[in-house]
Amino acid sequence: MKNTVVTFINSKKNGQKLSMLTAYDYTMAKIIDGTEINGILVGDSLGMVTLGYDSTLAVTVEDMIHHGRAVVRGVKNTLVTVDMPFMSYHNTLAEAIDNAGRIIKQTQAHAVKVEGGREILDKVKGLIKAQIPVMGHLGLTPQSLNIMGGFKVQGKSEEAAKKIIEDAKLLEEAGVFAIVLECIPEKLADLVSKSISIPTIGIGSGAGCDGQILVYQDMLNMDEDFKPKFVKTFADAGAVIKDGIKKYVDQVRDGEFPAVEHTFTMKEEVLEKLY
Residues acting as catalytic residues: 182
CA torsion, ordered 121, 124, 128, 132, to nearest 10 deg:
180
179, β-bridge pairs? 136, 200
| Axis crossing angle, helix 186-195 with helix 158-174, rounded to the nearest 10 | 30
> Which H or E element spans position 182?
strand 178-182
Q: Are 71 and 78 in contact (CB under 8 A)?
A: no
Q: Among residues 34, 39, 43, 42, which one has the least CA distance to residue 8? A: 39
Residue 98 CA to residue 138 CA, distance in Å, equals 23
Residue 177 CA to residue 171 CA, distance in Å, equals 9
Helix (H, G, I), strand (E, B) or coil at 154: coil
Residue 232 CA to residue 59 CA, distance in Å, equals 27
Residue 97 CA to residue 132 CA, distance in Å, equals 9
Q: Are 139 and 164 in contact (CB under 8 A)?
A: yes
112, β-bridge pairs? 82, 134
